[in-house]
Amino acid sequence: MKLVKLLSLAILIIAAGCGPRKPVLHIYTWADYVDPDLVAAFEAANSCRVSIDTFDSNEAMYAKLKAGGAEYDLVLPSSYQIALLRSQQMIQPFDQSLLPNVNQNVDSDYIRFASDPTLEYAIPYAMTFTGIAYRTDKLDPIDASWSVFTNSALRGKCTLLADMRETIGAALKANGYDINSTDPAEIETAAATVIEWKRNIAKFENEQYKTGLASGEFILTHGYNCDVLQVQEDCPDIDFVLPQEGFSFTFDEFVIPVAAPNPLLAHAFIDFMYQANSAAANIAYICSLMPVKTAYPLLDEELRNSPVIFISPAELDTHGQVIQEVGEALPLYTRAWDKIKATK
Amino acid sequence: MKRSLLPIVILIIVLVFLYLPIVVLSLNSFNASRFSGTWDGFTLKWYSTLMQDRTIWQALVNSLIIATFATIGSCIIGTTAALALNRWQTRLQTLHNALIYTPLVVPEILMGMSLLLLFTALKIDCGRHTILLAHITFCVSFVAMTVLARLQDFDTSLIEAGRDLGATAFQAFIKIQLPLLMPGIIAGGLLAFTLSVDDFVITFFVSGPGSTTLPLRVYSMIKHSRQMPVINALSTLLLAVTFLAVIASRLLQIKRVSRSHPFISTTIGGTNK
């Protein structure tokens, strides 16, 4: 009996391994970060198989790539990681002749904010930014300002992100400093601001704020635009504002590692995602803006006019800033963050 | 004398503590709201999303394949290791014992790191096979320990009796010792299977393209996913399968015990031939 079972299992495994050998494109990305219907369409069009592995942070992804032994064809890190990948010579330049859709459809208003505006080593995939979301049914319209976190009417009913760089960054902006400041005094001031906010907020929260916002436990939260859009689908009484002192944004970008076994398919995939109709479907799926200008007219009216997805380049110019690696100043941030966490 | 209510109260508290989170998770898998805080009515949409989500199924298949083979591999190696440890008491076996014990106490992160370094030094590309090797490495210890515990109160006179009655050493092993050790091996194997399906840290280090296992997938979804309730649905399904398996094995055991003791009958049948 047991032998029969083992044998049939072995046959199953072998059968799974055989069959016509299709080329495989290995993508390393965030969970649920590409519309699965598009992946299926790409597979059919290129008679290949797409295998998606997922990471939960840029650091985990970097460690995996750096350690070796794992050869991916296409990776989607955030902007700030790309300089590092490039300086370590871990990514290869694109062959522009294989990317006609990218060159035609890319929205030049946005790519200048990406890590590589020449699109030589990195091509932007999607943009996310942080701001303040609040329940319009429980709160009168608020000033678009970080100072809202000191509003005593919100005591215990608002949250800040539990992310060192995002939250200290918000405080740096609130004080009128650079989001990537390396000045100890500025970071000190920002830490004091966060501590002041901390006395008023319910907690620092990266995940559960979505649940809290939907249930009304929190009426105002610091959050990512794509998360807020997700909550809005369930609970329409939510408004999202960008603090006028400044906010952070970032791109996740396509890169091809040097050791990619199948760079041709990787190029084909990028180009496929830059087709107007696939980009439009994908924007609706991931709730983030892809800088593909020909896709915008194909979007639903609601998405097209959503301030949670679209943010004007002028706004990015005046108020937005990308969080970058701060190198040797990082300990200043970790120390400030420890102090914030330790203060009652 | 009136019996104290305390034990029953404690029992209820413990049961609630253990099972309430599971109940909440199962209920939420039917919640129309994406967010667990509010109940928006009954739905099966998360189950249908789950059915269509290829990457989650691929991760589950990866996990099950790896766990099955890790169990088989570690049962074979672990049992032979236990037999050797039990039979000889030389200095070499003391070292062997220490080697078997080490993976139980070495921090997982260290083991994952060192295995990855080994694989990259040997220029082995990471994938399902490296995860399998890593899982066998740490599962062997658990199987060896459980089998060894069973061997320690093993009555060797049974084997001697078998040999007296004409069984070869091999027959005696296959027909007497192995069936008697089977509960230990199965217990060790179940432990190995569970550990393999569960493992995150070591798997994280030695995984490669196309080998994302369920724990890796779930972890990446927690931080970045629009489909979190899908995880609730999957967990509920896994729980249902586990409970059914436990109930089925219980029923089978009751049937078997009511007939006769299986091991005695096989050994007698074997030696009579």
Query: What is chain A's mean pLDDT, rounded?
Result: 87
Mutate to test the interface with A, among B64, B124, B220, B231 (most CBs of A within 10 A): B220
Closest CB from A57, A215, A230 relative to B37: A215
Q: How far apart are CA B165 and CA B215, in angstroms?
A: 52
Residue with the larger pLDDT of the pair A17 and B184: B184
Q: How far apart are CA A107 and CA A281, in angstroms?
A: 17
**Superfamily for domain range A20-127+250-310:** Periplasmic binding protein-like II (3.40.190.10)
Would you say B213 and B131 are in contact if contact means Cβ atoms under 8 Å apart? yes
Using an 8 Å CB-CB cutoff, list chain B residues near A44. Answer: none
Q: How far apart are CA A99 and CA B195, in angstroms?
A: 45
C-alpha dihedral, B78 to B83 to B88 to B90, nearest 10° = 0
Is A230's Cβ below 8 Å from some Cβ in B? yes
SS3 call for A276: helix
Using an 8 Å CB-CB cutoff, list chain B residues near A26. Answer: 209-210
Average pLDDT (A178-198) is: 92
Q: In sequence order, what are the residues at sequence separation of 6 or more whose Cβ sits closer than 8 angstroms to the Cβ of residue B46?
A: B29, B30, B227, B229, B230, B232, B233
What is the pLDDT confidence band of residue A111, given thresholds at 50, 70 and 90? confident
Average pLDDT (A88-114) is: 91
**Do residue B223 and residue A33 have CB atoms under 8 angstroms apart?**
no
Closest CB from A36, A51, A68 relative to B209: A51
Which chain A residue has its CA at the smallest distance from B219's CA? A56
How close does chain B come to A60, measured CA to CA in Å?
Answer: 9
User: In CATH, what is the architecture of B54-272?
Assistant: Orthogonal Bundle (1.10)
Q: What pTM, to 2 d.p., does this model score?
A: 0.80
How far are the Cα atoms of A15, A18, A47, B61, B199 from residue A21, in angstroms, in the given order? 12, 7, 10, 19, 30
Residues of chain B with CATH 1.10.3720.10: 54-272
Using an 8 Å CB-CB cutoff, list chain A residues near B33. Answer: 214, 234
Whether residue A10 has pLDDT greater than 70: no
Residue A144 has a pLDDT of: 86
Amino acid letter for position B125: D
pLDDT exceeding 90 applies to what percent of chain A?
45
Residue A295 has a pLDDT of: 92
SS3 call for B102: helix
Q: How far apart are CA B146 and CA B79, in angstroms?
A: 9
Is B39's Cβ below 8 Å from some Cβ in A? no
Tell me the two tokens of residue A312. Answer: 């004007």
Mutate to test the interface with B, among A52, A58, A135, A210 (most CBs of B within 10 A): A52
Tell me the two tokens of residue B146. Answer: 């459980």
Using an 8 Å CB-CB cutoff, list chain A residues near B119. Answer: 69
Would you say B99 and B106 are in contact if contact means Cβ atoms under 8 Å apart? no
**Do residue A234 and residue B35 have CB atoms under 8 angstroms apart?**
yes
Average pLDDT (A271-287) is: 92
pLDDT exceeding 70 applies to what percent of chain A?
94
Tell me the two tokens of residue B76. Answer: 């074979």
CB pairs under 8 A between A and B: 103
Residue A8 has a pLDDT of: 58
Is A8's Cβ below 8 Å from some Cβ in B? no
Is A233's Cβ below 8 Å from some Cβ in B? yes
SS3 call for A129: strand
Low-confidence residues of chain B, pLDDT below 50? Answer: 264-273
Closest CB from A30, A69, A286 relative to B119: A69
Residues of chain A with CATH 3.40.190.10: 20-127+250-310, 129-248+315-342
**Do residue A26 and residue B210 have CB atoms under 8 angstroms apart?**
yes
Whether residue A2 has pLDDT greater than 60: no
Residue A187 has a pLDDT of: 93
How close does chain B come to A8, measured CA to CA in Å?
Answer: 13
**Do residue B55 and residue A207 have CB atoms under 8 angstroms apart?**
no
How close does chain B come to A137, measured CA to CA in Å?
Answer: 16
> What does the pLDDT look like over B208-265, one tens digit per residue?
888 889 998 888 887 666 677 888 898 899 889 888 988 988 888 787 766 655 554 4
Smallest CA-to-CA distance from A167 within A198, A142, A194, A192 is with A194
Q: In sequence order, what are the residues at sequence separation of 6 or more whose Cβ sits closer than 8 angstroms to the Cβ of residue A74?
A: A25, A26, A27, A28, A29, A254, A255, A256, A260, A266, A269, A270
> What does the pLDDT look like over B109-129, one tens digit per residue?
999 989 999 998 898 888 899
Is B204's Cβ below 8 Å from some Cβ in A? yes
Residue B266 has a pLDDT of: 46
Q: Is beta strand A123-135 parallel, antiparallel or unpaired with respect to A247-254? A: antiparallel
**Superfamily for domain range A129-248+315-342:** Periplasmic binding protein-like II (3.40.190.10)
What is the pLDDT confidence band of residue A175, given thresholds at 50, 70 and 90? very high
Is B226's Cβ below 8 Å from some Cβ in A? yes
> What does the pLDDT look like over A217-258, one tens digit per residue?
899 999 988 888 888 887 888 889 999 899 999 899 999 999
Whether residue A212 has pLDDT greater than 80: yes
Q: What is the ipTM of this complex?
A: 0.74
